[in-house]
Amino acid sequence: MNIEQIYSLFKKHPVIRTDSRKVTISSLFFALSGDNFDGNEFVLDAIENGAAYCIIDNPEYKYDERCILVHNTLKTLQDLAKHHRNHIDIPVIGITGTNGKTTTKELIREVLSEKYRIKATSGNLNNHIGVPLTLLSINKKDEIAIIEMGANHTGEIEFLCDIANPEYGIITNLGIAHLEGFIDFDGVKKTKKELYNHIRKNNGKIILNLDDSDLILMANEISNLSFGEDHNAD
């Protein structure tokens, strides 16, 4: 079954669950697996709880036609989210940074929700699973999406941008926290800049922190609305 066919199922059953205990009637269960668990083992539980279909990647658990076998469940979830994003005609704001991502996201949501119906990342679910799940929760009533993006290694923001395709971007700041996956501060800057690179490519706009000289250099030739203590800030 290709992604277009799975998307057709999603449109009929637009609630995604990755925890069999939280499956609701007529939802889609994605059997994700990790280092210490195999989501395929919980397919029967999901079916008993009312799942319309279960997306699996282990043929041993294909009990009946409700179990849809794919090569990789996580990649299918990500591909489905990207496909859904391509069918969503609303502004998407991407937020990343070393600190303050979740707080910034919540502040922006509070302001914009005075006028618009907002869909935003729940809590700090900002990784390769959380971002797709947020995108797949967007429905026709939503008018703006705010997607928080976290990273612990180079290339991860670029990957998340490819799925979420934001037109607007905010890098809150640059710091040296959690360097393990970046090696050094240059790695942090390179990774966060991936959001700016995506916005530049799409001729979008960034919200620029004028109090951070590194961000100013990274934002070269990108349309922006600026903030900060600098007297030149918008």
Q: Is 55 helix (H, G, I), strand (E, B) or coil?
A: strand
CB 22 within 8 A of CB 8: no
pLDDT value of position 175: 80
Return the beta strands (E) in 82-222 as ranges: 92-96, 118-120, 144-148, 168-171, 205-209
Helix axes 156-164, 185-201, angle to 10 degrees: 20
Maximal CA-CA distance, the chain: 65
pLDDT at 178: 60
Query: Each residue's pLDDT tens digit in the chain (234 positions)?
Result: 899 999 999 999 999 999 999 999 999 999 999 888 899 999 999 999 999 999 999 999 999 999 999 999 999 999 999 999 999 999 999 999 989 999 999 999 999 999 999 999 998 899 999 999 999 999 999 999 999 999 888 899 999 999 999 999 999 988 876 656 666 788 888 999 999 999 999 999 999 999 999 999 999 889 999 999 989 999
End-to-end Cα spacing for the chain: 50
Q: What is the DSSP letter of 223?
A: E
State the Cα–Cα distance between residues 175 and 97, nearest whole angstrom.
8
pTM as predicted: 0.93
Q: Residue 48: what pLDDT? A: 96
